[in-house]
Amino acid sequence: MASNRTFTMIKPDAVANGHIGAILDKITKSGFKIVALKLTALTKEKAGEFYAVHKERGFYNDLVAFMSSGPIVAAILEKDNAVEDFRKLIGATDPTKAEVGTIRNLFAKSIEANAVHGSDSDENAEIEGNFYFSAFERV
Ligand code: GDP
Ligand code: MG
pLDDT digits (tens, 9 = 90+) for 92-136: 999 999 999 999 999 999 999 999 999 999 999 999 999 999 999
- Residue with the larger pLDDT of the pair 1 and 46: 46
Query: Which pTM was predicted?
Result: 0.97
**Residue 10 scores a pLDDT above 90:** yes
Tens of pLDDT along 38-82?
999 999 999 999 999 999 999 999 999 999 999 999 999 999 999
Determine if ligand 1 sits within 6 Å of the CB of residue 117: yes
Do the beta carbons of residue 34 and residue 77 sit within 8 Å? yes
Of 5, 19, 79, 117, which is the active-site residue?
A: 117
CATH number for the segment(s) 5-137? 3.30.70.141
Determine if ligand 1 sits within 6 Å of the CB of residue 59: yes
Distance CA 116, CA 113 (A): 8
Going from N- to C-terminal start, the domains of the chain cover 5-137
Query: What pLDDT is recorded for position 82?
Result: 98
Say if the ipTM goes beyond 0.95: yes
93 is an annotated ligand-binding site residue: yes
Query: What pLDDT is recorded for position 3?
Result: 80
Distance CA 55, CA 63 (A): 10
124 is an annotated ligand-binding site residue: no
Distance CA 114, CA 102 (A): 11
Query: What pLDDT is recorded for position 2?
Result: 63
Ligand closest in space to the Cα of 86: 1
Query: What pLDDT is recorded for position 102?
Result: 98
Kindly tell me the burial class for residue 80, based on how many C-beta atoms sit within 10 Å of its own C-beta (0-12, 13-18, 19 or more): exposed
Determine if ligand 1 sits within 6 Å of the CB of residue 102: no
**Residue 1 scores a pLDDT above 60:** no
Give residue 47's Cα distance to chain centre. Answer: 13
